[in-house]
Amino acid sequence: MGGELKACEPWKAQLGVYLDGELTGEEMRAFDAHVRSCPSCAADALAQVQMKRAVQVAGRRFTPSEALRQKIQRTVAVRSSRRTLSWQWAMGLALAGLLLGTALSLSYFGKSHSNDEAMQSEMADLHVAALASSAPVDVVSTDRHTVKPWFQGKIPFTFNLPELQNSDFSLLGGRVTYMEQSPGAHLIYQVRKHFISVLIFQERPGQERDRNGARVKSPAKAYSFNTETWSQDGLRYFVIGDTGEDDIHRLAELLKNAART
């Protein structure tokens, strides 16, 4: 009897894999034959199936609210229609370009315009999502010497943060964020009653830079927010908030100066 159980040990060790349907066809057939002829393994198989079912029932436990479903459905639908409109607009531009005999240049313009718009839209989403979250920052600190090291090991790059002693900006903290699956730093600053997001990602191939390595864009509006974005030393910076253009620009300049040090 003891010998039989010992002989069954290799089968029992594979029982879970067998019941998960993860053995190959030949292994599965061999296992089927063994279980039919071995009462001990058959009993264990039955017990494990019951356990799987129990976990399955117990695991289906939490139901989302209808409000959340509608909220996400709306977001998905709005973004999809926004993308469709953007695509139609780009196609319109390309067609006009063809008619005017400048198809190549106009199609390039349409593409870069749509890329910028998509990027600004993403920035706005990240900013709003962070502020709407119950925990906007994961490292809560006004000290740049605390916030910066917190990101070490969490994102694949480092960055400098400005000294804010003589300014009306204050640092609230930071969190790791993602843009198109690339990890980056999301810092939240406050100026008076306004919150400003600073998002830093690694620059991607294809983003053009000027001779000094800095690609500075004039302040722009993104879905009612003021924004400023530039590339510096291989990093892409985004500053976005509901405060005035001047505040956004002043914080951008502080960040640029800090990055140079």
- Residues near other proteins (CB under 8 A) are 9, 12-22, 44, 46-48, 50-52, 54-65, 68-69, 71-73, 75-77, 79-80, 122, 125, 129, 133-135, 138, 154, 175-181
CB contact at 8 A, 140 and 172: yes
CB contact at 8 A, 118 and 86: yes
Minimum gap (Å) between residue 237 Cβ and other proteins: 18
CB of 3 or CB of 59, closer to other proteins: 59
Alpha helices in 101-223 (DSSP H): 103-132, 144-150
Minimum gap (Å) between residue 139 Cβ and other proteins: 10
CB of 30 or CB of 164, closer to other proteins: 30
Minimum gap (Å) between residue 97 Cβ and other proteins: 23
CB contact at 8 A, 139 and 173: yes
CB of 69 or CB of 217, closer to other proteins: 69
CB contact at 8 A, 258 and 158: no
CB of 104 or CB of 129, closer to other proteins: 129
CB of 11 or CB of 189, closer to other proteins: 11
- What gap in Å lies between CA 119 and CA 206, rounded to an integer? 14
User: What residue type is 37 in one-letter code?
Assistant: S
Minimum gap (Å) between residue 224 Cβ and other proteins: 18
- What gap in Å lies between CA 76 and CA 80, rounded to an integer? 6
CB of 49 or CB of 98, closer to other proteins: 49
Kindly state the helix (H) or strand (E) to which residue 78 belongs, with its residue range: helix 66-100
Residues with Cβ within 8 Å of residue 191, at least 6 apart in sequence: 168, 169, 170, 241, 243, 247, 251
Helix axes 103-132, 66-100, angle to 10 degrees: 160
Closest CA to 120 of 143, 86, 148: 86
Minimum gap (Å) between residue 254 Cβ and other proteins: 26
CB of 14 or CB of 190, closer to other proteins: 14
* Cβ atoms within 10 Å, residue 52: 13
Minimum gap (Å) between residue 138 Cβ and other proteins: 6
Minimum gap (Å) between residue 18 Cβ and other proteins: 7
